[in-house]
Structure 1
Amino acid sequence: MIRNIFNFINLHNGEEKKDKVLENVVSNISFRGSNLWILACAIIIASIGLNVNSTAVIIGAMLISPLMGPIVGAGFALGTYNFSLLKKSFKNLLIATFVSLTVSAIYFYVSPFKDVQSELLARTAPNIYDVLIAFFGGLVGVIAITRVEKGNPIPGVAIATALMPPLCTAGFGLATFNFSYFFGAFYLYTINCFFICIATFFVVKFLQYPSSIIDNKYEKRIRYGISILIIVMIVPSFYLAYNLYKEKKFTKTAEQFVQKEFENNGYTVIYKKINYNSSPKTIDLAFLNKKFTDSEITSFNKMLVDNGLTDTKLSIRQNDTDIKSEILNEINKFDNNISEKDIAISKLRQELDSYKVTDSTLIQEIKILYPAIGDISYGKIEQYPRTDSARLQFTLFYSGKDVDRDQLTQWLQKRIHEKNIRIISSNAE
């Protein structure tokens, strides 16, 4: 029974020949010619995606990117202690990184749009979850590479590990001289590269790929070095994850405080802004018609500590001008996100309107003038003459006999101001 379970989960089942896997890995390391052009194009696509806040475009760029090659190559080199391959992998990874940073920095420097969008912000503060995604994504990737049947995981790994967006965000930081964005995004890129490499190392060792060295002491030193690097990379991410946890906890507590002390007492909050990163932390509120005295505001500030909100200041905006300006600022932030949808909706409405005939009295007039007509259906349909383009044609279907179609056509042309009209009788033979 136990043997069957181990056989069921055995990674050696369906494994490709080791020399063939190594050959494929080595062939994907180099960044020359077409690979370099593909990388540059993928960087521009990802930069545009970050610029316009389009997730679909960013995903497309991640699928195009050939960045995984040298990272997986470095993992195989570490796992087999092949230092010439390791040197080649690092060299090509540095080339790819330099080219990517340069191309993205140039794009963002030239681009007139330098607004910080949510997709870009998401790559500036990595944490332990990014470490886990990179590690398990790397595991999936290298397991797929070592199979005879590669399957579908490789595109998914490219999306999950997200090497391109952090590099482009780092390029944005360089172009705008925002070095906090640069270091945050480049740290995320380094995490992804390192833990994909480490995941590859573990799988290579587990599958017992042949080693290039025999000295056990030298092998132990390499393992110790990798262990130290893992700790060095993980510790900052734990710190950032802890900060994220504290920020989420503070925000939730502040929301509960506002609800308990104000909303539950019937005060309508029209503006609310919670800032964790300021010193002291702040909660800014504005109300529809309630005005608080200075002593009441002081009393609410004293309640903050009792509710677990230490080092926090509550501000209530009661100046009409300030409230209006803050609300307008918040509205303007949403305008950029809404504008693309508005344009798309407007185009769809225009296209729909071109097919509609909105005259509600037309059928009644036709039946009065032509009493022999029974059922009527009409609308605009696309007509494809012997040209490259289509045109809309008003088409009327009717049932009934003894109707002068030429006369009906002329009347309709005058009535609805359409020259291109076609009339079809369901009784026509």
Structure 2
Amino acid sequence: MQTIVPVDRKHQLQSIIRGESFIESWDQTMGKNRYKLSLILPVQESEHLISRLEQRFSDTATFRIIIYPVEATIPIPNEPEANTNRGTAMEKQEKEGKGRISRDELYNDLVDSTRLSWVFVVLMIASTIVSTTGILRNSEAIIIGSMVIAPLLGPNVALSLATTLADFNLAKNALRVTFAGILISLFLSVLTGMILNIDPASPQIASRIQPNMGDIGLSLASGVAGALAFTTGVASALVGVMVAVALLPPLVTFGLLAGTGEWEIATGALLLLFINIICINLSGVVTFVIQGIKPSKGEEENKARSASLASILIWSILLILLMVSLYYSHINFDFL
């Protein structure tokens, strides 16, 4: 982590760093008016330090924090000794951040997924075509490929983070991208269903028009795994989450059946899509709250806490309504 401050305030920066748990540090005077301090520190130590630095130096024009991931250092460093002189509030904040990347790193990882770019549009078109091909050919391997390239998981996890931080601008962008992706995929799949002869008895279609309690449990567990994959920085785990709680195949299935006029059985695929979206967001918010992710400014914590509780309540109510809808629509409600 590199911190840049005015050179006349370097002693304040050094006083903040003194006593922190870091592995190594070095500094550099840049020109006549900037001072840079570089630290190698464990990932769980970064969030509370970033918050302290922001509070002290955010009023300066030259202040900046730059965070880099470290793949390895040679020789292998020893773990820094924990500082036992921190105040109670700092100790609590440190414990809350154990085992995850900082709030700021998480935010920057997810904010990119909420941008409606040409890359997102192309990925949605490509993944819809691949998913449609897999469903029509009854190929599980092709469908799994579409799950991996579909860019819908990121915006939904970003929506959970936005709720946890009460960041309504991020939430607005996440919703916009999610709806845009759904509309793109729905348009292409409905058009395909109108042109081609779709067999509702196809195994890949039939498996997605009968949601059950097992799908709810799977979606909740996968939503937790997705949130943890982002907060721990384990990007490789996201592939498994994308496959486990895929949003695209039920969406494409609904579009294909709607295009052929099979509205009654298409309802099952639509319910499965809603189940996945609701469970991802519900479990994501709960996971972020448990991990202690909250705004950097103390005055925003109450607003964020209220937003999180309201979100959990709303998603829970929607999930219950879906479960009731499953029961009364006579769709298979077995556990597996």
Q: TM-score range by the shorter chain?
A: 0.5 to 0.7
Counterpart for residue 69 of structure 1: 154
**In 1: Cα distance, 2:307 partner to 2:154 partner:** 27
**In 2: Cα distance, 1:236 partner to 1:146 partner:** 33
Counterpart for residue 172 of structure 1: 256
Could you say if the C-alpha distance between residues 156 and 218 of structure 1 is closer, same or farther in structure 2, counting changes exceeding 3 Å?
closer
Note if contact 1:39-1:96 (Cα within 8 Å) is conserved in structure 2: yes
Q: For 1:197-208, list aligned pairs within 5 A.
A: 197-208=281-292
Output the amino acid matched with 2:203. S
Deviations 1:125-175, CA, capped at 9 Å, x for gaps: 211111111110111111011114x15321111111121110111111221
**In 2: Cα distance, 1:11 partner to 1:186 partner:** 38
**In 2: Cα distance, 1:119 partner to 1:198 partner:** 27
Q: For 1:1-40, list aligned pairs within 5 A.
A: 12-40=97-125
Report the aligned-residue RMSD: 2.6
- SS of alignment partner, residue 123 of structure 1: coil
Deviation at 1:73, TM superposition (A): 1.1
Counterpart for residue 136 of structure 2: 51
Note if contact 1:126-1:240 (Cα within 8 Å) is conserved in structure 2: no
Could you say if the C-alpha distance between residues 241 and 13 of structure 1 is closer, same or farther in structure 2, counting changes exceeding 3 Å?
farther
Note if contact 1:62-1:159 (Cα within 8 Å) is conserved in structure 2: yes
Q: 1:214 pairs with 288, 298, 302, which one?
A: 302
**In 2: Cα distance, 1:156 partner to 1:93 partner:** 20
Deviations 1:91-140, CA, capped at 9 Å, x for gaps: 21111111110011112322355463011111112111111111101111
Counterpart for residue 311 of structure 1: none
Deviation at 1:81, TM superposition (A): 2.0
**In 2: Cα distance, 1:17 partner to 1:119 partner:** 40
- SS of alignment partner, residue 214 of structure 1: helix
Could you say if the C-alpha distance between residues 213 and 181 of structure 1 is closer, same or farther in structure 2, counting changes exceeding 3 Å?
farther
Note if contact 2:210-2:332 (Cα within 8 Å) is conserved in structure 1: no
Output the amino acid matched with 1:136. A
Query: Where in structure 1 are there 5+ consecutive unaligned residues?
Result: 1-9, 249-429
Note if contact 1:127-1:239 (Cα within 8 Å) is conserved in structure 2: no
Note if contact 1:51-1:115 (Cα within 8 Å) is conserved in structure 2: no
Deviations 1:335-378, CA, capped at 9 Å, x for gaps: xxxxxxxxxxxxxxxxxxxxxxxxxxxxxxxxxxxxxxxxxxxx
Q: What is the aligned residue count?
A: 237
Note if contact 1:127-1:238 (Cα within 8 Å) is conserved in structure 2: no
Counterpart for residue 232 of structure 1: 321
Comparing 198-207 and 10-19, the one that deviates more? 10-19
TM-score, normalising length: structure 1: 0.51
**In 2: Cα distance, 1:113 partner to 1:218 partner:** 43
Deviation at 1:196, TM superposition (A): 0.5
**In 2: Cα distance, 1:238 partner to 1:80 partner:** 35
Percent sequence identity over aligned pairs = 24
Q: For 1:15-414, list aligned pairs within 5 A.
A: 15-112=100-197, 114=199, 116-148=201-233, 150-211=234-295, 212=300, 214-215=302-303, 220-237=309-326, 243-245=332-334
Note if contact 2:278-2:315 (Cα within 8 Å) is conserved in structure 1: no
**In 1: Cα distance, 2:274 partner to 2:310 partner:** 23
Note if contact 2:327-2:333 (Cα within 8 Å) is conserved in structure 1: no
Could you say if the C-alpha distance between residues 200 and 115 of structure 1 is closer, same or farther in structure 2, counting changes exceeding 3 Å?
closer
Output the amino acid matched with 2:244. A
Output the amino acid matched with 2:236. N
Deviations 1:255-300, CA, capped at 9 Å, x for gaps: xxxxxxxxxxxxxxxxxxxxxxxxxxxxxxxxxxxxxxxxxxxxxx
Deviation at 1:221, TM superposition (A): 4.5
**In 2: Cα distance, 1:86 partner to 1:135 partner:** 20
Output the amino acid matched with 1:232. L
Note if contact 1:75-1:200 (Cα within 8 Å) is conserved in structure 2: yes
- SS of alignment partner, residue 28 of structure 1: helix
Output the amino acid matched with 1:81. A
Deviation at 1:56, TM superposition (A): 0.8
Could you say if the C-alpha distance between residues 22 and 238 of structure 1 is closer, same or farther in structure 2, counting changes exceeding 3 Å?
farther
**In 2: Cα distance, 1:110 partner to 1:60 partner:** 24
Could you say if the C-alpha distance between residues 136 and 11 of structure 1 is closer, same or farther in structure 2, counting changes exceeding 3 Å?
farther
Deviation at 1:30, TM superposition (A): 2.2
**In 1: Cα distance, 2:262 partner to 2:167 partner:** 39
Could you say if the C-alpha distance between residues 167 and 218 of structure 1 is closer, same or farther in structure 2, counting changes exceeding 3 Å?
closer
**In 2: Cα distance, 1:65 partner to 1:99 partner:** 12
Counterpart for residue 332 of structure 1: none
TM-score, normalising length: structure 2: 0.64
- SS of alignment partner, residue 114 of structure 2: coil
**In 1: Cα distance, 2:273 partner to 2:158 partner:** 17
Note if contact 1:169-1:181 (Cα within 8 Å) is conserved in structure 2: no
Could you say if the C-alpha distance between residues 36 and 63 of structure 1 is closer, same or farther in structure 2, counting changes exceeding 3 Å?
same
**In 1: Cα distance, 2:190 partner to 2:332 partner:** 29
Could you say if the C-alpha distance between residues 155 and 165 of structure 1 is closer, same or farther in structure 2, counting changes exceeding 3 Å?
same
Query: Where in structure 2 are there 5+ consecutive unaligned residues?
Result: 1-94
Deviation at 1:241, TM superposition (A): 8.8
Note if contact 1:47-1:108 (Cα within 8 Å) is conserved in structure 2: no
**In 2: Cα distance, 1:140 partner to 1:17 partner:** 18
